[in-house]
Structure 1
Amino acid sequence: MGTVWFVGAGPRDPDLITVKGRDLITRAGAIPCAGSLVSRTATRWAPGDCEIADSKGMTLAEIGAWLMEKAGKHDTVARLQTGDPGLYGALIEMVRFLEAAHIEVGGVPGVSSAMASAAAVEGLTLPEVTQTVILSRIEGRTSMPKGESLEELARHHRTLCLFLSITLPVQDTARSAGGGLAGGRADPDGLQGRLAGGKDRARYSRRHRGQMPRRGDR
């Protein structure tokens, strides 16, 4: 039985995959990845006979079953996940499924969109302004626990990185919070960093809060 590796593929930039992640791809017998989230060019290092599957339409149970089947055929299976697999990647659920089947698993961290954005705006912290960074998401189809709404988090007046929220109405929610979401201060013109996945590359843009999308905007 082979080992299933969960590899962070970075923010849709194949050049940001770690050396360890790339090495696993070069010897993987099977690679599942969400084609809408992970750049398919990330698989360019895979062997010619590697089984590559798009997991976009699969449920967690179906992905788990696929991984288990391929682990029975190959020494190395590399599950590519956008950003870092430990952030909003359903990693715990899949690991439990595989461990219950006595399949060895491993993890390789990846460059998250927050860290890529930090590099683009010269950091997420600033002396005498904020030394705290909050990683969260806006409530969508998945509800947020009590005390973790965007309004409540914004009241801390710290740097706030929002995942899985690029298409959601940030502007109206941020205004109701009574403050900006960047720079650690209630600044109505607070600078926002947006990192969105394109077809094969991440796209980064700087916008002020007034330029963030409203509900219904595309």
Structure 2
Amino acid sequence: MLEPVYIVGAGPGDPDLITVKGRELLTKADVIIYANSLIPDSMLKFCRKDAEIIPTASKSLEEIIAILLDRVRSQKLVVRLHDGDPSLYGAIQEQIMALTEAEIPFEIIPGVSAFQLAAARLQVELTVPELVQTIILTRISGRTQVPEKEELSKLAAHQASLCLYLSAHHVENVQAKLAEHYPLDTTVAICYRLGWDDEKILTVPLSAMAATTRQEQLTRTTLFVISPALNHTKTNYINSNSEKSTEKRSQLYSANYKRLFRQP
């Protein structure tokens, strides 16, 4: 019986943020086929010294599939290492279809996504009670077209916590569409190469989003976070405990809320 191909999410870049299961697979793998343009080489420190490590930035899908099939049929333990979480813009659907057609088993190991590390770095909660309770992960249309019903200006109308992937090349268009619905003083976090050694996070008002992105020459591996939560400072949380505050804490901490493990 063949070993499954393991499609592993490496996380956003920091080797310490790969899951324990993902790391253990890297330590055991005979072959690691990894997206070297999106994953720092420091992630390979977990691999065996005798492992076959194959970068794929210059390879076509057909070449990648051929390698996967050849190595797994040779009774090798194969890891296909993707950045972030494979389910988000991971381009794994074509690989899943090819493996299924070839009757090769596979297992997907999730990873930390860039939006999660962005929130951690910014020290914010993206779902603040009575302010915002929805997170939208999306992108603007580019070479890959977004369905018309998911067009950015329609999603921006919700004024949710919006996390934009793969959109820096079109940042002027992004800013214009967001400005249709978000106030121009809404804080935008521009997050470049999160988890890498040269990570950079800039917070600017929406009105300066495009100019700052161009000035810093940020194109690839850039995530934008636009959210009312970014304007909701730590001071708001402190003040929310006072009697004069009109803000409410999460029901999780409400003294009047009945719950299974703690009585009011």
Structures share a fold, TM > 0.5? yes
SS in 2 for 1:58: coil
Give yes or no for contact 1:22–1:45 (8 Å, CA) kept in 2: yes
Match of 1:47 in 2: 48
Deviations 1:146-168 (A, max 9, x none): 12121111111111111122x32
Deviation at 1:115, TM superposition (A): 0.7
Deviations 1:55-75 (A, max 9, x none): 012222221111111112244
- In structure 2, the CA distance between the partners of 1:172 and 1:102, relative to structure 1 (3 Å rule), is closer
Residue 189 of structure 2, aligned match among 193, 211, 215: 193
Report the RMSD for the aligned CA atoms in angstroms.
Answer: 2.1
- In structure 2, the CA distance between the partners of 1:172 and 1:100, relative to structure 1 (3 Å rule), is closer
Per the normalisation by structure 2, the TM-score is 0.74
Larger radius of gyration: 2
Q: Residues of 1 paired with 2:165 and 2:17: CA distance? A: 18
Partner amino acid for 1:33?
Y
Q: Residues of 2 paired with 1:195 and 1:65: CA distance? A: 35
Give yes or no for contact 1:30–1:74 (8 Å, CA) kept in 2: no
Match of 2:136 in 1: 134
- In structure 2, the CA distance between the partners of 1:115 and 1:58, relative to structure 1 (3 Å rule), is same
Deviation at 1:193, TM superposition (A): 2.1
Match of 1:8 in 2: 9
Q: Residues of 1 paired with 2:92 and 2:190: CA distance? A: 25
Give yes or no for contact 1:71–1:77 (8 Å, CA) kept in 2: yes
Provide structure 2 residue ranges, at least 5 long, that are not aligned to the other structure: 218-264
Deviation at 1:202, TM superposition (A): 6.3
SS in 2 for 1:147: helix
Give yes or no for contact 2:140–2:164 (8 Å, CA) kept in 1: yes
Deviations 1:182-212 (A, max 9, x none): xxxx221211223322794362413222332
**Higher-RCO chain (CA-CA 8 Å, sequence separation at least 6):** 1
Give yes or no for contact 1:168–1:215 (8 Å, CA) kept in 2: no
Provide structure 1 residue ranges, at least 5 long, that are not aligned to the other structure: 181-185
Per the normalisation by structure 1, the TM-score is 0.89
Q: Residues of 1 paired with 2:87 and 2:173: CA distance? A: 29
Match of 2:208 in 1: 211
Deviations 1:80-135 (A, max 9, x none): 10100011112221011012111110011000001111112222111111100111
Deviations 1:28-76 (A, max 9, x none): 0101111110111111111111111110122222211111111122441
Identity of aligned pairs, percent? Answer: 37
Give yes or no for contact 2:12–2:195 (8 Å, CA) kept in 1: no
Number of residues paired by the alignment? 212
Match of 1:82 in 2: 83
Give yes or no for contact 1:135–1:162 (8 Å, CA) kept in 2: yes
Give yes or no for contact 1:9–1:83 (8 Å, CA) kept in 2: yes
Please, which moves more after superposition, 1-10 or 193-202?
A: 193-202
